[in-house]
Amino acid sequence: MVTTTVVFVHGFLSSDRVWSAFRELIRDDPALGDVETHAFRYATSLLSWHPLRQVPTFDEVADSLRTFLRHDLAHRPRLALVTHSQGGLVAQRTLARMLADDDPDLARIRLLLMYACPTAGSDLGLSTRRALLRANPQEQQLRPLNAAVLDAQRAVLHRLVHVPDPSMRVLAFAGESDAVVSPASARSLFPDTGVLPGDHFGIVRPDSPQHRSYVVLRQALLHLAVEDDRSRANTVPQPRTPTAAPPPANDGELVDLLLKVPGMADPAFREQAYARLPPRVREQLSRPGPVRLELLAALDTLRDYRHLAAGRAFADALAALVPEHPVVDELRERLVALDAA
């Protein structure tokens, strides 16, 4: 039986002690007897008063985590990264840098589970933070829509999540009472998300095996073990049934389908759909006049921002506005295909 190694990564101004409840619950859970836990520690503080020390940047912390996985956990075949707050940004940066280098250690990482990760930033005390912590490189990465943070997320989404047969599962959870990281920021563009009880710190302080924050981690670890066991048991390659590729992207036909969506001719409806797109996509949308021209221009923009899964986001928006409509179901495959164009 292959052991799953959980690597806990704490957040800003925090420490590995934040994970004590999780580690005790895993240790006492008979169903997780093959799971071992480790905590990755890194320096995080408001300021560095020591003349020979500095607050490390995200890139430095990400490379430190990468070194920890490569050397401290060299012989662990199956790794799961579990993070809180800023720790999720560190993990995403690590994965992005590993992707850029085609790092073979990436194959060992099978799960990324993030609690209250500020992928879209945190507004809490923003003006005060900017004034008092100008020199803190970690705080700068916590500001809304930081370019380096979004680039790392884009790499994770494009090369690890939105791929056929992904080898890594990525989960993102928000705290329902969290005033530090909003649910929108915690879930961001990740497709597998949820909301858990607790505020920013309560979300990682489960007080029993029934606490939902522990339940989701437990289920993810059990799912990972079952999937791996099933994969190893299936030693004889099975022929794969080819799936029908979506029809070639013809923007004229696609616009015809879009216009069959109830309400699409109404500018207010279209604005509601656009409002659900990533902010960077919304900013680039144009309104050239007639609805057909507007939709053609929108398709071009979705294609330009395929790295943000803009086509999938638009399909999700239409499904939310007109649930279970057959035209919307037919559109989904075509819109998602724009992300791979």
| Superfamily of domain 4-233, CATH level 4 | Alpha/Beta hydrolase fold, catalytic domain (3.40.50.1820)
d(CA 58, CA 264): 43
pLDDT tens per residue across all 341 residues of the chain: 678 999 999 998 789 999 999 999 999 999 998 899 999 999 886 555 556 667 788 889 999 999 999 999 999 999 999 999 999 999 999 999 999 999 999 999 999 999 999 988 876 655 665 556 555 665 666 676 688 888 899 999 999 999 888 999 999 999 999 999 999 999 988 999 999 999 999 999 999 999 999 999 999 999 988 876 666 656 445 555 444 444 444 788 898 899 999 989 888 889 889 988 988 888 888 776 788 888 888 888 888 888 889 999 999 999 988 888 889 888 999 999 998 86
Residue 85 neighbours by CB distance under 10 Å: 30
In the chain, where the domains are located: 4-233, 251-340
Dihedral over Cα of 154, 160, 164, 170: its sign: negative
Amino acid at 25: L
145 backbone φψ class: left, alpha, beta (φ>0; ψ -120 to 50): left
Residue 54 neighbours by CB distance under 10 Å: 13
Give me Rg for the CA atoms of the chain. 22
What is the pTM (predicted TM-score) of this model? 0.66
As a 3-state breakdown, the chain gives helix, strand, coil percent values, each rounded to 5, of 50, 10, 40
With CA atoms as reference, report the closest residue to 86 among 140, 26, 160: 140
d(CA 7, CA 28): 17
Looking at the DSSP bridge assignments, the partners of residue 39 are 8
